[in-house]
Structure 1
């Protein structure tokens, strides 16, 4: 499942409601927000959370709220009856710090509860069992890390998740957004440090392949083209790539929808659809070295392979039988590595105003 973040540091606007609606229409199923960000005015949280909750109820979106210590009380809610939060559209609470396992066990009988996936220990699980927590209502949610160099290490993340899965938890993690990046640092909100400046969908695809169950956008927004890419993947299992013309007359030939062949190649993505297109006479042109994201067409020198369309998944040498006709835009090259055998992909011209 995919979700996104909405923060309560300012009055919620109609523009934000439009964004929430568009994300729901794109196939996102959950919203994350926080009631304990140091820079925020906690006295404004209740009104804003109620407004966000009403949007989520209207659009049938889950709403997970991050709390710590007395964050709920400072925001004007009661700790003794968290089930009442469901009236405001809240479907779950993520436990950060200064909340006892006894409290968590009690909360778990009232609504969905997310433990801090990065810090939960076997001792915590034992305590929760002793306190008779409702484990069917417990999930494991990782943090995001605003400060560069503090995001989780990949191998540690994978090892921790193996342990969480062995203990029966579903797992959530964050990937960065690429619009309305949250301050005060404006350096992205990823769970993994390796993801901090990468394309949000590429990060999400890696996490999906690593068996993460819930993947949320940490920052407050996605660019329109990125939102469209998520929508294509969520609804059609299709990767949309934006490409630049390399100056041959064969650029329009490669545009449109494709499917990677089921017999997945090691170095390239091979369009299974190319052979069903009307193949023009293709002479050798721009037979230059290929890089990750080069879109190529085999020319007449490749005989029966003439017209084959490929995307390179690694650097390859120049070949006088292969024309380089387009390049995937640099920030989307990571997506190329996630197009598996049988997966659909679409090549779309990068419009000038999108650059």
Structure 2
């Protein structure tokens, strides 16, 4: 699941856009923080009530970062659950300061999200001994605004393994946006330091495929339209690969469609099943061109000299030599080359101009 974040300092239209995007991607949760201003956000009663109406309209609840100090700003005489539900807040991501008993009590009232980056196995056992209601418990990692402070991949993998062994399967992480960053540093809000400058789609796929994370949130204020378009492919189970063509032809529309890597995946190349089975190439597409080397990420078509292989579209997974039987028609953008390793046998992918 991909979802987004909003913050109460944003204009109304930007907050509603976050709800709209989350709903369009099938997400049921948005992230926000209630302690950027030490809980003073809870003074914006009209805005919070409006957010509650958005949550009901779009069918998307809000999970809010909070501390005990923040909750002390709730209106007097109103229960935590009642007040937060009115504002569309269906869960709390508990920051430092909550006692064991407070955490357990909250779990019996609403969704509770533990800090996946810092919690230990002993602490989970302590919560279990106090009968926490695990049915509504997630664990989400932190995001890290300051450069050089994000988690390593090894740390993320280790923490996730421990959480699953303890029975917590619903794990969340954050990726940085590539459009409007959140201040005050404006350096991205990723969980992994490696993802601070990464393309959000690549970061999302890595978190899902390598780290087996179920929920990924964009921590920053927005992503580009291009990211949203490619994420729509990902939601369908298709890996979008950006490439730059080196030929100019109308038949490139046949290249820029959905392909499936052969189930008997090759070592050196991704082989499009459809390219010889169902795509009808025009004759000019199969005419031999000037032979060229095939570095990793080269997009190629076997030309008419290859006999029955003519028309096979491939993407090179390693540096390959020049072959008179193969036309090089494009190159995967450098940023998307790491995604090629996720196109296993039988996995659909599409080539999009980048």
Q: State TM-score, norm by structure 2.
A: 0.89
Does residue 1:158 correspond to 2:162, yes or no? no
2:19 aligns with: 20
1:287 aligns with: 291
Q: Which moved more, 1:22-31 or 1:204-213?
A: 22-31
Q: For the residues of structure 1 that align with 2:63 and 2:87, how far apart are their CA atoms?
A: 12
1:10 aligns with: 10
Give 1:82 shift.
2.2
Unpaired runs of 5+ in structure 1? 351-355
Q: For the residues of structure 2 that align with 1:213 and 1:57, how far apart are their CA atoms?
A: 24
Where do residues 23-34 of structure 1 align in structure 2 (5 Å cutoff)?
23-34=22-33
C-alpha contact 1:6 1:31 (8 A) present in aligned 2? yes
Please state whether the residue corresponding to 2:72 is helix, strand or coil: helix
Q: Which moved more, 1:276-285 or 1:26-35?
A: 276-285
How many residues matched? 347
Please state whether the residue corresponding to 1:179 is helix, strand or coil: coil
Residue deviations 1:226-266 (CA, integer Å, cap 9, x gap):
112112221x2112334322025463442222122222222
Please state whether the residue corresponding to 2:314 is helix, strand or coil: strand
Give 1:107 shift.
0.4
Please state whether the residue corresponding to 1:52 is helix, strand or coil: helix
Does residue 1:264 correspond to 2:244, yes or no? no
Residue deviations 1:239-298 (CA, integer Å, cap 9, x gap):
233432202546344222212222222232211100122233423325323334321111
Q: For the residues of structure 2 that align with 1:238 and 1:345, how far apart are their CA atoms?
A: 5
Q: For the residues of structure 2 that align with 1:160 and 1:247, how far apart are their CA atoms?
A: 47
Give 1:330 shift.
3.8
Give 1:19 shift.
4.4
Where do residues 43-122 of structure 1 align in structure 2 (5 Å cutoff)?
45-74=44-73, 76-77=74-75, 81-84=79-82, 85-122=84-121
| CA separation of 1:344 and 1:77: change in aligned 2, threshold 3 A | farther
Q: For the residues of structure 2 that align with 1:45 and 1:123, how far apart are their CA atoms?
A: 38
Q: For the residues of structure 1 that align with 2:272 and 2:156, how far apart are their CA atoms?
A: 34
Give 1:346 shift.
2.2
| CA separation of 1:53 and 1:333: change in aligned 2, threshold 3 A | farther
Please state whether the residue corresponding to 2:342 is helix, strand or coil: coil
Give 1:43 shift.
5.5
Aligned mate of 1:348, from 342, 345, 352 = 352
Unpaired runs of 5+ in structure 2? none
Please state whether the residue corresponding to 2:89 is helix, strand or coil: coil
Please state whether the residue corresponding to 1:341 is helix, strand or coil: coil
Q: State TM-score, norm by structure 1.
A: 0.89
2:231 aligns with: 230
C-alpha contact 1:2 1:30 (8 A) present in aligned 2? no
Residue deviations 1:108-150 (CA, integer Å, cap 9, x gap):
1000100111111233223323432212222111001111111
Aligned mate of 1:339, from 327, 343, 350 = 343
Q: CA RMSD of the aligned region, Å?
A: 2.4
Please state whether the residue corresponding to 1:140 is helix, strand or coil: strand
Give 1:163 shift.
0.7
| CA separation of 1:78 and 1:334: change in aligned 2, threshold 3 A | farther
Q: For the residues of structure 2 that align with 1:136 and 1:184, how far apart are their CA atoms?
A: 36
Does residue 1:221 correspond to 2:222, yes or no? yes
Give 1:220 shift.
1.6
Q: For the residues of structure 2 that align with 1:195 and 1:286, how far apart are their CA atoms?
A: 38
Q: For the residues of structure 2 that align with 1:40 and 1:348, how far apart are their CA atoms?
A: 44
| CA separation of 1:81 and 1:183: change in aligned 2, threshold 3 A | same
Does residue 1:308 correspond to 2:327, yes or no? no
Give 1:17 shift.
1.6
C-alpha contact 1:199 1:334 (8 A) present in aligned 2? no
Q: Which runs of 4+ in 1 moved over 6 A?
A: none
Q: For the residues of structure 2 that align with 1:306 and 1:339, how far apart are their CA atoms?
A: 22
Does residue 1:143 correspond to 2:147, yes or no? no
